[in-house]
Amino acid sequence: MATFEKETIFNLENAIEYTSGGVISKQVIKSKGGNLTLFSFDKEQGLSEHKTPFDAIVLILDGEAEITIGGKLHLLKKGESIIMPANVPHALKAVERFKMLLTMIRDV
């Protein structure tokens, strides 16, 4: 299942907008092996601490974010990525508004 048309060129950063005071998510593609999801966060917005049973990779497309993994704070800027390991608590917060691509890898 995909929300983006296959064989069509698109720009990830431009494929999602910001919303004032909120968070937007937009699924790029989903399969048994994993999924790609775009997110945009207004300043001071975020995702509270949680964990997932799969590794996930975050790529910052725009802006700046604090990502806490296992209690350790990481500051990421446009163009930077980090791997959030499976079963380790993590949280995200927008230092300034930011966009990211989340890649979730599932064990199949």
pTM of the model: 0.92
Q: Computed over its alpha carbons, how large is the radius of gyration of the chain?
A: 13
Kindly list the structural domains of the chain, giving each domain's residue range(s) and its CATH number in brackets, ordered by start: 13-105 (2.60.120.10)
3-state helix vs strand vs coil in the chain, percent to 5: 5, 60, 40
Rounded CA-CA distance 85/25 in Å is 21
42-68: pLDDT as tens digits: 999 999 999 999 999 999 999 999 999
Residue 83 has pLDDT above 70, yes or no: yes
